[in-house]
């Protein structure tokens, strides 16, 4: 089956301004892209008149927590759920993210062992709707790391235990492991400065993930923690709020093999939250305010040095539910000085590079993960927060949400 989009404004996933044109999808692949005045002569099974709407790549969530159960459709007021309910929530969240224009997700860790491996297989088989997913297992935080209560170490400490953990993940068919290197002051004040792993464990993680072909994602706040993440060969580092200018330069030296995600969504949402009197968010709000003050300075520094900085902000809390993920684009504009085009590239082109897949760009030979947007998000990224403005959602050449009949000819 083939689909031809015409009379559209194309945002291609780079920081370039959109152009008028047409796009031919053949099977699951973008076969041809033509910019006005050029046209596509090939016939297609389905012809879609975009009526001036914007065709862009599907968005990519680089810090996904599908098992952080709350979504815009169902809020849970407890964080840890029974395994069966957690699996239901994760399956719902995958569909919710796709409904909101996220066609790919990189997992930043799960609350239940094996859930994402099963969900990944179900999505790939077409048994349930969801984004392309690089799945992970439990966020691995060492025993005694009380600052982080979302993880576990179920196979002990030391280099051999780390190797066993990585093999276990590979045997499950996972794509990435999540290592919580720093504590978390939002949960335990002051613990962001704690370092929860040894250099020897990080060396073992690097060796084992290379042997088994897995990525590493690291939660790291300080120079010491980021240094360990680099030692482990991390693909993406989250937060980094407290690093020094010297570490900024170190990260810049690794910009071609490394991605960075500030994770600001949860901070902004925590500051906005108005919890009931019996819920104490004072530590979380204090930590969020401090981190945002630091990241307003840090993120522009890293951007100026060429780091590929990605959206994704710990969505899944009751005050920050899955489905609101596109807010991150506006946060990049409002807090970090990005232009709308730069924020869109962070959510598409750079995300595709993180996924290590031909996604995130409207480009010949890339997979046909596309959004048809009613409006121009290159001028106003907040449009993408309204799923009703997504006139069509295509993943792998198939419509998850088809355009209205009037657009089909």
- Dihedrals phi, psi of 322, to nearest 5 degrees: -55, 140
Q: Give the Cα separation of 168 and 205 in Å (integer).
A: 12
Q: Give the Cα separation of 372 and 52 in Å (integer).
A: 10
One domain for residues 154 and 30: no
Residue 398 lies in a domain: yes
Residue 341 lies in a domain: no
Give the domain CATH number at 22: 2.30.40.10
Per the structure, the count of domains in the chain is: 2
CB-CB contact of 208 with 305 (8 Å): no
Residue 338 lies in a domain: no
Lookup: tokens for 133: 């997913």
One domain for residues 53 and 64: no
Q: What is the pLDDT of residue 253?
A: 98
Q: What is the pLDDT of residue 146?
A: 52
Q: Which residues of the chain register pLDDT less than 50?
A: none
Report how far Cα 387 is from the mean position of its chain's Cα atoms.
Answer: 18
Lookup: tokens for 260: 């960075």
One domain for residues 226 and 95: yes
Residue ranges of the alpha helices (H) in 21-158?
83-99, 115-125
Residue 351 lies in a domain: no
Average pLDDT of the chain to the nearest whole number: 94
Residue 310 lies in a domain: yes
Q: What is the pLDDT of residue 90?
A: 98
Residue 229 lies in a domain: yes
Q: Give the Cα separation of 67 and 109 in Å (integer).
A: 8
Q: HEC profile for 281-302?
A: CHHHHHHHHHHHHHHHHHHHHH
Q: Give the Cα separation of 116 and 73 in Å (integer).
A: 20
Q: What is the pLDDT of residue 143?
A: 59
One domain for residues 259 and 363: no
Q: Which of 307, 325, 343 is the last residue of a domain?
A: 325
One domain for residues 319 and 396: no
Positive/negative CA dihedral, 348, 248, 185, 276: negative
Give the domain CATH number at 134: 3.20.20.140
Q: What is the pLDDT of residue 408?
A: 62
Q: Give the Cα separation of 167 and 163 in Å (integer).
A: 6
Residue 332 lies in a domain: no
Q: Give the Cα separation of 271 and 281 in Å (integer).
A: 9
Q: Which of 171, 167, 138, 170 is nearest to 154 (CA)?
A: 138
Considering just the CA atoms, what is the radius of gyration of the chain in Å? Answer: 21
One domain for residues 286 and 271: yes
Give tens-digit pLDDT for 29-73: 999 999 999 999 989 999 999 999 999 999 999 999 999 999 999
CA angle 258, 188, 65 (to 5 degrees): 45
Q: Which of 277, 308, 325 is the last residue of a domain?
A: 325
One domain for residues 17 and 163: no
One domain for residues 122 and 49: no
One domain for residues 253 and 174: yes
Cβ-based neighbour number of residue 75 at 10 Å = 12
Lookup: tokens for 371: 């959004």
Residue 345 lies in a domain: no
One domain for residues 41 and 79: no
Q: Give the Cα separation of 107 and 136 in Å (integer).
A: 6
Q: What is the pLDDT of residue 150?
A: 52
Q: Which of 325, 350, 379 is the last residue of a domain?
A: 325
Give tens-digit pLDDT for 291-302: 999 999 999 999
One domain for residues 15 and 147: no
Whether a cis peptide bond, with omega within 30° of 0, leads into 42 is no
Q: What is the pLDDT of residue 221?
A: 97
One domain for residues 121 and 69: yes
Structural domain range at position 364: 2-57+359-407
């Amino acid at each position: 089956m083939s689909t031809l989009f015409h009379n559209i404004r194309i945002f291609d996933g780079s920081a370039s301004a959109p152009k008028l044109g047409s796009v031919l999808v053949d099977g699951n692949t973008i076969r041809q892209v033509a910019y006005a005045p050029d046209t596509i002569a090939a016939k297609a099974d389905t012809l879609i008149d975009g009526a001036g709407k914007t065709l862009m790549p599907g968005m990519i969530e680089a810090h996904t927590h599908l098992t952080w159960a709350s979504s815009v459709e169902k809020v849970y007021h407890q964080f840890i759920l029974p395994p069966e309910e957690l699996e239901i929530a994760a399956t719902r969240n995958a569909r919710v993210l796709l409904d909101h224009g996220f066609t790919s997700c990189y997992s930043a860790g799960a609350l239940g062992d094996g859930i994402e491996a099963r969900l990944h297989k179900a999505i790939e088989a077409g048994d349930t709707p969801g984004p392309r997913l690089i799945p992970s297992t439990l966020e691995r935080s060492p025993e005694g790391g009380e600052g982080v209560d979302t993880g576990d170490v179920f196979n002990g400490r030391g280099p051999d235990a780390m190797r066993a953990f990585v093999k276990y993940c590979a045997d499950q068919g996972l794509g990435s492991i999540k290592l919580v290197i720093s504590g978390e002051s939002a949960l335990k004040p002051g613990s962001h400065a704690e370092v929860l792993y040894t250099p020897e464990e990080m060396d073992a993680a690097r060796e084992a993930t290379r042997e088994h072909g897995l990525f590493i994602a690291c939660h790291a706040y300080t120079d010491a923690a980021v240094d360990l993440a680099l030692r482990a060969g991390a693909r993406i580092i989250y937060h980094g709020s407290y690093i020094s200018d010297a570490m900024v330069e170190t990260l810049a030296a690794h910009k071609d093999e490394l991605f960075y995600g500030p994770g600001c969504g949860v901070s902004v949402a925590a500051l906005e939250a108005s919890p009931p009197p019996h819920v104490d968010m004072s530590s979380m709000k204090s930590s969020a305010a401090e981190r945002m003050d630091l990241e307003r300075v840090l993120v522009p520094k890293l951007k100026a040095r060429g780091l590929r900085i990605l959206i994704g902000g710990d969505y899944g809390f009751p005050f920050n539910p899955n489905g609101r993920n596109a807010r991150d684009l506006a946060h990049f504009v409002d807090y970090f000085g990005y232009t709308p085009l730069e924020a869109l590239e962070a959510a598409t082109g750079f995300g595709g590079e993180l996924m290590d897949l031909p996604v995130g760009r409207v480009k010949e030979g890339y997979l046909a993960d596309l959004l048809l947007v009613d409006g121009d998000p290159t001028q106003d990224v907040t449009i993408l927060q309204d799923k009703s403005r997504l006139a069509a959602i295509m993943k792998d050449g198939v419509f998850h949400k088809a355009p209205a009949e009037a657009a089909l000819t």
